[in-house]
Amino acid sequence: MFSRLAQLARPPVAVWPSLEDEIGEYKTYFKGKMLNAGAGLRDLSSLVDGELVNQDIPHGLDNGNIHIYSPIHDIPVADGEFDGVICNAVLEHVANPVEVVREIHRVLRPGGHLYLCVPFLQPEHLDPTDFQRYTKDGLRKLVTDEGFEVVKLEGVHSVYTTLAWIVESWLQSHDSLSYRLMRLIFYPILRYKTRTSRTYVDSIASAYRVLARKAKAEGLSRQVA
């Protein structure tokens, strides 16, 4: 019995949806030649109807899936190389997010879409650094300032996912008897609720995501020039 209770009190607490479930209907935009910017170990190939190009900097988590090694703000391809760009849970780890979004705009064809997901209420998670969080207004300004049109902007994950990660970070910070008891109480509940609940509270979303489009008119004017 005591070993079972100990197992219940161990992290991780949040049960995260699969990438396919999380991205859902957005994958209808993942067509043609797609860039996975800051790919890491994530395999998005099953979500792309076309060619997937993974880009990242060299690091210890490389499993051989990276096609382009470069800084995300300086990708060595021509203007308008990609039909779409996915940048999922990456932007918080870069020191120069404006330059990154500007570069994504450059490598995207006119009319192409960017799927950008960034954290809002998440504990610090170093990979190897962690610089910023975004509200919806901040995310909208970030992409529109660099020439994108916002198609859709919304939060990601249930309120219990937000709570689970924060509570886990809190209750793992001490190992006193009271903290152990709270882990025994809260962890099983939060694991169950992150797995089963879809309750969403916009103001305390774990992350926000934007689907943005590079304007066709801008691309045409550049070609004429």
Q: What pLDDT, in 10s, does the model give residues 62-104?
A: 678 999 999 999 999 999 999 999 999 999 999 999 999 999 9
> What is the average pLDDT across 40-61?
91
Domain membership flag for residue 139: yes
What ranges in the chain are assigned the alpha helix state H? 2-8, 19-23, 97-107, 136-144, 159-171, 177-196, 216-224
Cα 130 from Cα 37, distance rounded (Å) = 17
Task: Provide the pLDDT for residue 160.
Answer: 97
Domain membership flag for residue 192: no
CB atoms within 10 A of CB 130: 15
Task: Provide the pLDDT for residue 127.
Answer: 87
Residue among 155, 149, 156 nearest 211 (CA)? 149
| pTM of the shown model | 0.90
Q: How many domains does the chain have?
A: 1
Domain membership flag for residue 27: yes
Q: Quote the domain boundaries for residue 124.
A: 16-157+201-216
Domain membership flag for residue 179: no
Which whole-number Å values give the CA distances from 198 to 2, 131, 164, in the listed order?
Answer: 32, 29, 14
- Helix, strand, or coil here: 139? helix
Domain membership flag for residue 65: yes
Task: Provide the pLDDT for residue 219.
Answer: 45
Domain membership flag for residue 29: yes
Cα 80 from Cα 175, distance rounded (Å) = 53
Domain membership flag for residue 113: yes
Residue among 17, 49, 20 nearest 34 (CA)? 49
Tell me, what CATH number does 151's domain have?
A: 3.40.50.150
Domain membership flag for residue 118: yes
